[in-house]
Amino acid sequence: MALRLLLVTIAIMALASSFANASDPSPLQDFCVAFDDPKDALFVNGKFCKNPNDVNANDFFFRGLNKPGDTNNPLGSKVSAVNVANLTGLNTLGISLARIDFAPYGLNPPHTHPRATEVLTLLEGTLYVGFVLSNPPPGMKNKLFTKTLYAGDVFVFPQGLIHFQFNIGHSNAIAFAGLSSQNPGVITIANAVFGSDPPINPDVLTKAFQVDNKVIEYLQSQFWYNNNNN
Return the domain boundaries, the chain: 77-185, 188-230
Alpha helical stretches, state H, the chain: 2-20, 189-194, 202-209, 213-220
pTM: 0.83
Q: What is the pLDDT of residues 22-75, one digit of tens each?
A: 445 577 788 889 887 666 555 555 678 888 999 999 999 999 999 999 999 999
Closest CA to 125 of 155, 150, 101: 150
- Render pLDDT for 157-172 as a digit per residue (tens, 0 to 9): 999 999 999 999 999 9
User: Please, where are the H alpha helices in 62-144?
Assistant: none
Q: What is the rounded distance in angstroms from the CA atom of residue 134 to the CA atom of residue 141? A: 9
CATH class for the region spanning 77-185? mainly beta
pLDDT at 38: 61
